[in-house]
Amino acid sequence: MGRILFGVGLAIAATATLDLMGYSAMSALPLIPLFILFAFLDRIPRQELGLTLGTVKGYLLAVAHPVFVIGLLAWLAYAAGAVDLSALDSAKAVKDVAIMALVTFVMAIITEEGFFRGWLWAALGRQGKSPLTVLIASTIAFVLWHVSFVFISNEFHFEPAHIPLFFVNATLLGLIWGVLRLGSGSILVSSASHGLWNGLTYVLFGVGSDAGMLGIKDLGLFGPEVGLYGIALSAAFLGLLWWVYRDRLASQDS
């Protein structure tokens, strides 16, 4: 357990250092060598790390989450008159979403998903922890890793009122991607959901409290990561995943 705590602490410290130095765009990169190093030291095979193709059902659910949440949020904002499409370039938006989703998918496999739901997940399982305990512990580590992103980074802006909402949403996202990893046995599945989520969220709604291409300014209500509706919809989807994979979550086998 000491190595696990050291590894997570080192990941948080390395990312916080880059955020402090103004290199937030590269703050996930330290997770690459840490993922490789600790997976090697623990002699964890590829399958145990979740480096498998996964299941068709897993990918369908992975794609369904961002499409369901982002799609409904956009519709709710449009119905409420909170969308400003005057500056929207549809072709550019589609291109930007596709590029960001693909880049995030590839990078997440060796950074956030690889470290938290790959190495850390497997390492906790080897400690004899139940799947539910592994899910909760890895999600807590994932959320703590994002603290510097909010409080230290100068590249992203968060309204004070949005910060608690961000951490609630980060917790829900960590749980959703963790359940997808558990149910499919693959971090490629959770990375697919992670990639599409980032692509749709950051391009259409923006990062932090800054508006995206849809021109929605009331992000405290409609924001996928800093909004109340975002919390409600992700929580609803988490409930669906919980029901789908309830048997695996209830298992006491590591």
Residue among 109, 98, 93 at smallest CA distance from 205: 93
Angle at 167 between CA 224 and CA 236, to 5 degrees: 50
- pLDDT tens per residue, the chain (254 residues)? 899 999 999 999 999 999 999 888 899 999 999 999 999 999 999 999 999 999 999 999 999 999 999 999 999 999 999 999 887 889 999 999 999 999 999 999 999 999 999 999 999 999 999 999 999 999 999 999 999 999 998 777 889 999 999 999 999 999 999 999 999 999 999 999 999 999 999 999 998 778 789 999 999 999 999 999 999 999 999 999 999 999 888 875 54
- Count of beta carbons in the 10 Å neighbourhood of residue 115: 29
| Cα 114 to Cα 31: distance, rounded to the nearest angstrom | 8
- What residue ranges do the domains of the chain occupy? 2-250
How far does Cα 20 stand from its chain's mean position? 22
- For residues 110, 113, 114, 118, the Cα torsion angle rounded to the nearest 10 degrees is -170
| Cα 216 to Cα 211: distance, rounded to the nearest angstrom | 6
pTM for the model stands at 0.95
